[in-house]
Amino acid sequence: MGEHMKVVEAMMAAWKKRDVEGFIATLSDDIEYHWHPTKRPAIGKDKMRKFLANYEQGFDQQEWRIVHSAEAGEVLFVEGMEVLVDRSTGVKMDNPFVQVFEVRDGLIRRMRDYYDTSQVHAPAKPDAAKASA
Amino acid sequence: MSTPIERLRALMEVSGRRDKAAFLAFFDPAIEYHYHVGTRPLIGVEWVDKFITRYWANHSETEWVLSSWAQNETQVLTEGREDYVNADGVKVSHPYMGIIEFGPDGKITAWRDYFQMKDPAATG
């Protein structure tokens, strides 16, 4: 296993325990996360905490696994599958995805996700969820 | 034998020239081509032939840009964008991520492209 993959596996292990600060500890202060193909990225650890809170509110991620990977320099590519349950509807779905990570000094500084949002809708913002409740 | 990225760059070169015979020669006859993960794949080089024939007919000024990549022994994982003018004359810049797998003989046995099918160039 490459060094970058060890960092990503630590991030995944933290999330599987819903250890938010453990997840955040794998990120650099200037983390830039392109979580959605058509939205602005989340920048910085505070935005990442908000993102994770929104995500957890919207979805129960029951599986998150990587099936293929390759590293080159600071870049790590992974292809994988997550299984999600939309908490608002109870619908379970498979979301095949790829992620590109840039890792420097043992910390993730860039993450970009590629998937089709027609299959997985973005988690609702907490305020929007309250408004619709 | 050449590496996955070398083979991909060679494929991109013939694709840029729209040399269909040379393009199709890169594929294993039983290729499984997911031109969009989430849509049913095309199985077999005959379907790749049909796909690329239609694609080239409906897309002009195509430019395939590779922004980053990494490879292992049998796969190259790529990130990039495709710029083109579609059949309606609209310019599109289409970010994507693609994974190409090669068999022992160097032919492409699987290809999976991940992107936003609807309104791919939209920004938040």
**Per-residue model confidence as pLDDT tens digits over A41-79:** 999 999 999 999 999 999 999 999 999 999 999 999 999
CA of B26: how far to CAs of A23, B8, B92, B98, B108, in Å? 42, 9, 27, 16, 6
CB contact under 8 A, A38 and B116: yes
pLDDT in tens, A69-97: 999 999 999 999 999 999 999 999 998 99
At residue A37, does pLDDT exceed 70?
Answer: no
- DSSP secondary structure letter of residue A58: H
Query: Chain-wide mean pLDDT for chain A?
Result: 88
| Residue B21, min C-alpha distance to chain A (Å) | 30
- Residue A39 has its nearest CB partner, among B37, B119, B124, at B124
CB contact under 8 A, A36 and B36: no
Share of chain B above pLDDT 70, in %: 94
- Residue A76 has its nearest CB partner, among B70, B76, B116, at B70
Q: What is the DSSP string of B13-78?
A: HHHHTT-HHHHHTTEEEEEEEESSBTBPPEESHHHHHHHHHHHHHH-EEEEEEEEEEEE-SSEEEE
Q: What confidence category does residue A124 fall into, taking pLDDT thresholds of 50, 70 and 90?
A: very low
CB contact under 8 A, A116 and B124: no
- Measured CB to CB, residues of chain A less than 8 Å from chain B are 36-40, 68-72, 75-77, 79, 96-98, 100, 112, 114-119
Question: Chain B residue closest to A78 (CA)?
Answer: B77
b/e A57-85 (16+ beta carbons within 10 angstroms → b): ebbebeeeebebbbbbeebbbbbbebebe
pLDDT in tens, B57-97: 999 999 999 999 999 999 999 999 999 998 899 998 888 89
Share of chain A above pLDDT 70, in %: 86
* Top-confidence range, A99-108, A115-124, B112-121: A99-108
